[in-house]
């Protein structure tokens, strides 16, 4: 089955800095690479995703980059704001039924 | 359009008691899932249902049973609750035909004493 690791497990930045979270996976058949954000006490919600025929995708301050050869993809957040503070999960998968979520990265943005 | 709904929001059980967590979605999704999330941890898959009438075990199925009642509803049952099952339980659903995003319910916070 898929083996998923996220790094770092915690990340503290100052408001306005950039943050990068990396997700490595083992299944070379994975072709869908989402990032979910979970605020304290809330449900996880998709913030950005990428498919394997694309190397990078941007949506305002967030972006995801994919390196299929090395089997990792990263979440980039620029100009961080306090409301970006949350736990972020990756969940690389093949589009079939089972998903394995990474263990999460806790991002803290200090004003 | 309510998305994915779960009941109850909170529950306290004594060891050995049983209960059923309910989940429903109104997005006409084929696939539904149950996860548990322990404090400070990621999401671990308990069971999933790829379509009405089918269910499969996930990573941590022991101590749980599920029923896919119809396309909308997917319930999770704890037959004899144990303190190790204290957790937040999330239900999720996912569309078909290349629509891979999972939509989560608000969660059920369960405490077993």
B1-29, pLDDT tens digit by residue? 789 999 999 999 999 999 999 999 999 99
Which candidate in A99, A105, A106 is best for mutational testing of the B interface (most B CBs within 10 A)?
A: A99
For chain B, what is the mean pLDDT?
A: 93
Distance (Å, whole) CA B48 – CA B32: 6
Kindly state the average pLDDT of the residues B36-58. 91
Tell me, what's the pLDDT at A96? 66
Q: From the list B42, B100, B107, which residue is nearest A101 (CB)?
A: B42
Contact B104 A45 (CB under 8 A): yes
- How confident is the model at residue B100, as a pLDDT? 79
As a whole number of angstroms, the distance between CA A34 and CA A97 comes to 15
Q: Does residue B99 carry a pLDDT above 80?
A: no
Higher pLDDT, A101 or A23: A23
Q: Which pLDDT tens digit goes with each residue over A2-18?
A: 789 999 999 999 999 99
pLDDT at B91: 98
- Contact (CB, 8 A) for A88 and A101: no
Residue A27: how many other CB atoms lie within 10 Å: 15
Residue A14 to residue A110: CA distance in whole angstroms: 5
Residue of chain A whose alpha carbon sits nearest to that of B91: A43
Q: Over the stretch B73-92, which tens digit does the pLDDT of each residue have?
A: 999 999 999 999 999 999 99
| Share in percent of chain A as helix, strand, coil (round to 5) | 5, 50, 45
Unique residue bearing structure tokens 């319910």: B105
pLDDT in tens, A53-95: 778 999 999 999 999 999 999 999 999 999 999 999 999 987 6
């Amino acid at each position: 089955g898929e083996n998923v690791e996220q790094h770092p497990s915690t990340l503290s930045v100052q408001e306005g800095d950039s943050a990068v979270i990396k997700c490595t996976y083992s299944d070379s058949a994975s072709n869908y690479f989402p990032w979910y954000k979970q605020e304290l006490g809330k449900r996880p919600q998709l913030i950005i995703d990428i498919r394997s025929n694309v190397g990078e995708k941007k949506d305002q301050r967030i972006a995801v980059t994919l390196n299929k050869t090395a089997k990792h993809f990263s979440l980039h957040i620029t100009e961080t704001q306090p409301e970006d503070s949350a736990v972020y999960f990756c969940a690389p998968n093949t589009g079939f039924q089972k998903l394995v979520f990474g263990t999460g990265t806790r991002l803290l943005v200090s004003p | 359009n309510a998305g994915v709904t779960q009941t109850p929001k909170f529950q306290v059980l004594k060891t050995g008691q049983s209960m059923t967590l309910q989940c429903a979605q109104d997005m006409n999704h084929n696939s539904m899932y149950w996860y548990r999330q322990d404090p400070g941890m990621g999401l671990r898959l308990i069971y999933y249902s790829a379509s009405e009438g089918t269910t499969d075990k996930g990573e941590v199925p022991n101590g749980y049973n599920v029923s896919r009642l119809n396309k909308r509803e997917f319930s999770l049952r704890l037959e004899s609750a144990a303190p190790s099952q204290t957790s937040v339980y999330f239900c999720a659903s996912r569309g078909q035909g290349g629509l891979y995003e999972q939509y989560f319910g608000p969660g059920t916070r369960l405490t077993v004493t």
